[in-house]
């Protein structure tokens, strides 16, 4: 104890430095320096004094936009990041919460400056206003979160779920068909759930009963769902009368939650949404609580970590896995329903366009934890929403902008998430011996 308190008084030259720590300092400090340099470049290159923003409410003839002074803001951000870089070099940014918070601040500062730069100096008659990226974020992230929850549930139980994309597709298709038949978007959600659970059942049957390699199985189920939905879509005749009954569903209505939807900045984005989005919030809470606070959740996690031990204490490993996978299908199916009744309406080929794989990436990025996976999905949604917004501004070629959310994810994963540890028995079928 006493040596620990005295340690700082030892001659600095005699202190042992961990080389890994030094390396980390240099890496982090260098990266931040690079970010600061970029921000200063923005500061230097912007000519416009002001950019305009509108974060709440609709744009009408009379709305006055907010004004943002470009140079002071970018300069402050630049100095902030520079300070963070210096702190990193000096080793003041410790691992853990401090790193997380400072990286968050740096990230926000950088994005802010980037957006200001993108909106400044535009050669157009009417300056576009910076709008709120949050509504787009939630629109894009809703299915991803639901898919990621499904992935977490399956993988925590020890069954790899690469088939989220397949569940999305099946969910989207059947949600559309059921909603069209019943002329009720709510019934469509039920259809989506049934389809998601259906693919889940295939996943469970083949992985638990027939011991198929789960990565193979997942890929195959995606192809199967693609083929099946395309095939069934081809079967719907192109006559308007019949089509109206099969693939022209009503869409879910937005429901404003009184009070909450009036909140500035987040109100419109979070609390004036379809029922599906509220279901997504509820799902995150439910899955997290069930997984970490209930007996069943403990069992799910135990069969995913050490099925043999679980079996020894009398837990029915296969039964728990079946339950977890089927339960996961509910969320994945709901996520799929977003792509038809939740947003565009009728089902198109490959409606979910690979987003199931992004949900899978969110599961891994979130370290198989429902809350972190949700954040990962929201991060992706935010970046995509920002991208969509900047595409309208035309400062950067939209084809290049397209790749930003994906690049950002790679950077986030390589820079901050790093090595992840899956549930120990993930992907291993359990065979009683």
Partner 1 sequence: MPDQGQSDEGGPPPSGSTVTKDKPAGSHRRADNRMAGWLPSVTVTFASIALALLVGAVLILVSDREVIESFSYFFSYPWDAFRSSASAIGESYKALVTGSVGSGGAITATLERAAPLICAGLAVTLAFRAGLFNIGAQGQLVLGAICAGYVGFHYDLPPVAHVVAALAAGLAGGALWGGLVGLLKARTGAHEVITTIMLNYVGAALLTYLLTKESFQQPGSDNPRSEKVAADATFPELLGVHSGILLALLAAVGVWWLLERSTVGFELRAVGANADAGRTAGMSVAKVYTLAMIVAGLLAGLAGAQQVLGHQDSLTANFGGSIGFDAITVALLGRATPLGTVLAGLLFGALSTGGLAMQASAASTPLALTQVLQALIVLFVAAPALVKAVFRFRESDDGGAVMAKGWNS
Is 228 near partner 1 (CB under 8 A)? Answer: yes
Residue 144 touching partner 1 (CB under 8 A): no
Residue given tokens 């898919």 in the structure block: 147
Chain centre to alpha carbon of residue 269: 16
Q: How far is the CB of 417 from partner 1 (least distance, A)?
A: 7
Pairing of the two strands 130-131 and 50-54: parallel
User: What is the three-class DSSP state of 239?
Assistant: coil
Radius of gyration of the chain (CA): 25
* Least distance (Å) between residue 238 CB and partner 1: 13
- Main-chain phi, psi angles of 252, to 5 degrees: -70, 145
* Interaction of residue 429 with partner 1, rule CB under 8 A: yes
Q: Does 424 bind partner 1 (CB under 8 A)?
A: yes
Per rule CB under 8 A, is residue 256 in the interface with partner 1? no
Q: 134, 140 in Cβ contact below 8 A?
A: no
Of 96, 395, 339, 89, the closest CA to residue 225 belongs to 339
Pattern 154-173, partner 1, x by CB under 8 A: -x----x-------------
Provide the edge-to-edge strand list for the sheet that holds 66-69: 66-69, 50-54, 130-131
Min separation Cβ 52 and partner 1, Å:
29
Residue 324-363 contact track with partner 1, rule CB under 8 A, x = bound: ------------------------------x--xx-xx--
| Contact with partner 1 (CB under 8 A) among 88, 220, 320, 383 | 220
C-beta closer to partner 1: residue 100 or 407:
407
123 burial class (0-12, 13-18, 19+ CB within 10 angstroms)?
exposed
Query: Looking at 45-53, 128-136, 202-210, 241-249, which segment touches partner 1 (CB under 8 A)?
Result: 202-210
Residues 74 and 116: beta-carbon distance below 8 Å: yes
> What is the sign of the dihedral through the CA atoms of 286, 267, 254 and 229?
negative
Convert residues 371-410 into a mask of x (bound to partner 1 by CB under 8 A) and - (unbound): --------------------------x-xx-xx--xx-xx
* Region at 91 (left for phi over 0; alpha for psi -120 to 50; beta for the rest): left
CA 203, 206, 212, 216 torsion-angle sign: negative
Cβ-based nearer residue to partner 1, 182 or 230 = 230
Residue 344 or residue 350: which is nearer to partner 1 going by CB? 350
Residue 388: closest CA among 402, 408, 409: 402
For partner 1, which stretch binds (CB under 8 A), given 11-19, 44-52, 192-200, 419-427? 419-427
Report the residue number, 39 or 217, with the smaller CB distance to partner 1. 217
Q: Rank residues 201 and 212 by Cβ distance to partner 1 and give the closer one.
A: 212
The residues, any chain, with a CB within 8 Å of residue 338's CB and separated by 6 or more, are 142, 143, 146, 172, 276
Tokens of 268: 């419109």
- CB of 332 within 8 A of CB of 352? no
Q: Does 259 bind partner 1 (CB under 8 A)?
A: no
Size of the site for partner 1 (CB under 8 A): 58
**226 touches partner 1 by CB under 8 A:** yes
4, 96, 231, 241: residue in contact with partner 1 (rule CB under 8 A): 231
Q: Which residues bind partner 1 (CB under 8 A)?
A: 155, 160, 206, 209-217, 219-221, 223-224, 226-228, 230-231, 233-235, 354, 357-358, 360-361, 364-365, 397, 399-400, 402-403, 406-407, 409-410, 413-415, 417-420, 422, 424-429, 431-433
């Amino acid at each position: 104890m006493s040596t620990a308190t005295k340690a700082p008084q030892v001659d600095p030259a005699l202190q042992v430095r961990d080389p890994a720590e030094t390396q980390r300092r240099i890496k982090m400090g260098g990266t931040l320096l690079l970010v600061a340099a970029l921000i200063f470049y923005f500061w230097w290159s912007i000519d416009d004094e002001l950019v305009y923003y509108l974060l709440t409410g609709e744009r009408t003839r009379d709305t006055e936009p907010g004004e943002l002074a470009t140079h002071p803001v970018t300069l402050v951000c630049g100095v902030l990041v520079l300070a963070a870089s210096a702190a990193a070099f000096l080793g003041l940014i410790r691992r853990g919460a401090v790193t997380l918070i400072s990286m968050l601040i740096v990230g926000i500062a950088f994005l802010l400056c980037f957006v200001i730069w993108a909106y400044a100096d535009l050669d157009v008659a009417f300056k576009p206003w910076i709008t709120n990226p949050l509504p787009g974020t939630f629109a894009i992230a809703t299915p991803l979160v639901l898919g990621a929850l499904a992935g977490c549930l399956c993988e925590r139980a020890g069954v790899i779920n690469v088939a989220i994309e397949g569940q999305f597709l099946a969910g989207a298709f059947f949600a559309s068909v059921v909603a069209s038949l019943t002329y009720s978007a709510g019934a469509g959600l039920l259809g989506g759930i049934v389809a998601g659970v259906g693919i889940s059942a295939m996943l469970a049957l083949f992985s638990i009963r027939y011991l198929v390699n789960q990565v193979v199985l997942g890929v195959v189920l995606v192809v199967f769902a693609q083929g099946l939905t395309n095939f069934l879509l081809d079967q719907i005749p192109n006559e308007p009368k019949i089509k109206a009954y099969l693939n022209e569903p009503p869409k879910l209505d937005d429901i404003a939650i009184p009070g909450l939807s009036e909140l500035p900045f987040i109100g419109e984005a979070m609390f004036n949404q379809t029922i599906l989005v509220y279901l997504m919030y509820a799902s995150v809470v439910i899955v997290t609580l069930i997984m970490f606070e209930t007996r069943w959740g403990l069992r799910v996690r135990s069969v995913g970590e050490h099925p043999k031990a679980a079996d020894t204490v009398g837990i029915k490993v296969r039964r728990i896995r079946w339950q977890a996978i089927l339960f996961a299908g509910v969320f994945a199916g709901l996520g799929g329903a977003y792509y038809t009744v939740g947003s565009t309406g009728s089902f198109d080929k490959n409606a979910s366009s690979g987003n199931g794989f992004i949900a899978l990436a969110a599961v891994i990025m979130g370290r198989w934890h429902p809350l972190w996976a949700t954040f990962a999905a929201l991060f992706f949604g935010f970046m995509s929403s920002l991208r969509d917004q900047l595409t309208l501004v035309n400062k950067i070629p939209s084809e290049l902008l397209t790749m930003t959310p994906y690049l950002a994810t790679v950077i986030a994963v390589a820079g901050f998430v790093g090595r992840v540890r899956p549930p120990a028995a993930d992907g291993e079928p359990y065979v009683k011996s």
